[in-house]
């Protein structure tokens, strides 16, 4: 599994394309935030905008939306292999998992900072991964919440075979502690795009966790 996945959070298709051009040939996977203005205040580009890049990247669609099961078919149409949905965004997580299975997509469930890792217990056999949001969702550039590390440790202890992703505030100061706590991969966003050389920063972060 790729240990670091670059993230793109934008509502602008031109910015999406510009950032993908930077990452072309530099990363197999790209994490994209899909936002509906309800579950989080921002609104993103349409999922269909990713279709023309499916031959160049493997996209992980982070569905920061209400009723995520309604977005799964669009992800399949855009040839997105993996979705992340949130425990807090659906009344029936199993319906999301069922829809993902029908569309042959990997399904990962995420939790917001206030949510306990215990919510994975009844679903972990149906999931392809767990995802810990280490900031409050919706904006890039927020500070890493230190208590997220204990949440990662607890998840790894409860479900040692379930791959764990971490997203939010991951930078040169926090990245090692995420892996030491048990993360299998991390999402890096603002630390890249605030850098004068995003690719060099990505390579530097990768070297820190080899």
Which residues does the annotation mark as catalytic? Answer: 33, 167
Buried b (16+ CB within 10 A) or exposed e, 6-31: bbbbbeeeeebeebbebbeeebebbb
- Tokens standing for 132? 């810990």
Instruction: Select from 18, 100, 85 the least CA-distant residue to 53.
Output: 18
- Tokens standing for 146? 């230190």
Report CA dihedral (204, 64, 59, 47) to the nearest 10 degrees.
-130
The DSSP secondary-structure symbol of 141 reads S
Find the angle CA(173)-CA(135)-CA(163) to the nearest 5 degrees.
Answer: 80
């Amino acid at each position: 599994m790729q240990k670091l996945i670059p993230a793109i959070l934008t509502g602008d298709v031109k910015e999406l394309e510009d950032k993908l051009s930077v990452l072309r040939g530099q990363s197999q996977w790209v994490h994209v935030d899909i936002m509906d203005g309800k579950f989080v205040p921002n609104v993103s580009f349409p999922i269909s905008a990713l279709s023309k890049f499916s031959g160049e990247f493997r996209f992980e669609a982070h569905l920061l939306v209400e009723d995520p099961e309604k977005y799964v078919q669009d992800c399949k149409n855009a040839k997105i292999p993996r979705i992340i949905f949130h425990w807090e965004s659906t009344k029936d997580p199993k319906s999301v998992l069922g829809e993902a299975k029908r569309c042959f997509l990997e399904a990962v469930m995420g939790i917001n900072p206030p949510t306990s890792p215990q919510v994975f217990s009844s679903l972990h056999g149906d999931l392809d991964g767990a995802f810990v949001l280490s900031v409050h969702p919706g904006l890039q550039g927020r500070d890493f919440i230190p208590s997220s590390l204990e949440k990662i440790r607890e998840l790894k202890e409860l479900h040692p075979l379930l791959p764990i992703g971490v997203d939010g505030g991951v930078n040169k100061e926090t990245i090692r502690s995420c892996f030491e706590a048990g993360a299998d991969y991390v999402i890096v966003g603002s630390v890249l795009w605030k850098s004068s050389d995003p690719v060099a920063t990505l390579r530097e972060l990768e070297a820190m966790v080899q």
